[in-house]
Structure formats: C-alpha cells, structure tokens
Amino acid sequence: MAKKLFVGGLSYETTEATLKETFAKAGTVESATVIIDKISGRSKGFGFVEMSSEEESQKAVEMFNGKEIDGRNVTVNEARPLEPRPQRGGFSRGGGGGGSRGFGGGRRDRY
C-alpha cells in the first residue's frame, strides 16, 4: 500500500521532477507534488511524495530527513491526514446583519 510522506523546507526552486528523482533512490515513487501558492505561483516550500510501500517510505525518511536537497536541509516524515480548520472571518451566508434597508440604528434623517 502506498505511503505519503511530507517533505518540508524545500527550496523555492525544487520541482516535482527533482523530488521524484531524489526519492526514487529509496524505491518506487508513485507521485511527487510541490505545493504552489495560488496567488504568487511559486512554491510554498513543502510538498508530498507517495512511495509504493511502507518499507520504501521508511527507507526514504531514513535517507532524506535532515539531508540537503537543492541547497536546503529538508524535513521528511509521514504525512498526517488534513485536519479540519476552524472557520476564518470574512464573508458568510448566515445571520449577523444590521445596517441594511434603514434598520440597525444610525441617524434617522438619511432616508
């Protein structure tokens, strides 16, 4: 069964091809992804590599955790499942209100 690894501390120049080529030294790489910022279009400095087996993923952690890739020492460990994040402020579709259609206080001479 494939095992996903988190790779942190990547250089902004590291590509998915570089990750795949590097981790292939530890075994069969199912996929390699560098996470890209939507706005700037540049790497966020981390990514994920999916190895084809548990043994190969363990070997990759041992071989590359704390080692240099593209001039940066990287962190490699087992990826954890994405946890739900709390809602952030901003736009919402529910409740709240006031201030619309003349309701909600304020000066009354502005109709």
Give the tens place of pLDDT for each residue, 17-27.
999 999 999 99
- DSSP label at 57? H
SS3 56: helix
Considering Cα of 60, then 62, then 65, then 68, what sign does the dihedral take?
negative
Could you tell me which residues come within 8 angstroms of residue 104 by beta carbon, excluding any fewer than 6 positions away? 97, 98
**Confidence band of 83 (pLDDT split at 50, 70, 90):** confident
Give the tens place of pLDDT for each residue, 38-51.
999 999 999 999 99
Please give the pLDDT value at position 101.
57
Least confident range from 21-35, 54-68, 97-111: namely 97-111
* Cα–Cα dist 90/22, whole Å: 41
More confident position, 87 or 17: 17
Residue 96 in contact with residue 104, Cβ under 8 Å? no
Question: All domains of the chain, ordered by start, with CATH?
Answer: 3-78 (3.30.70.330)
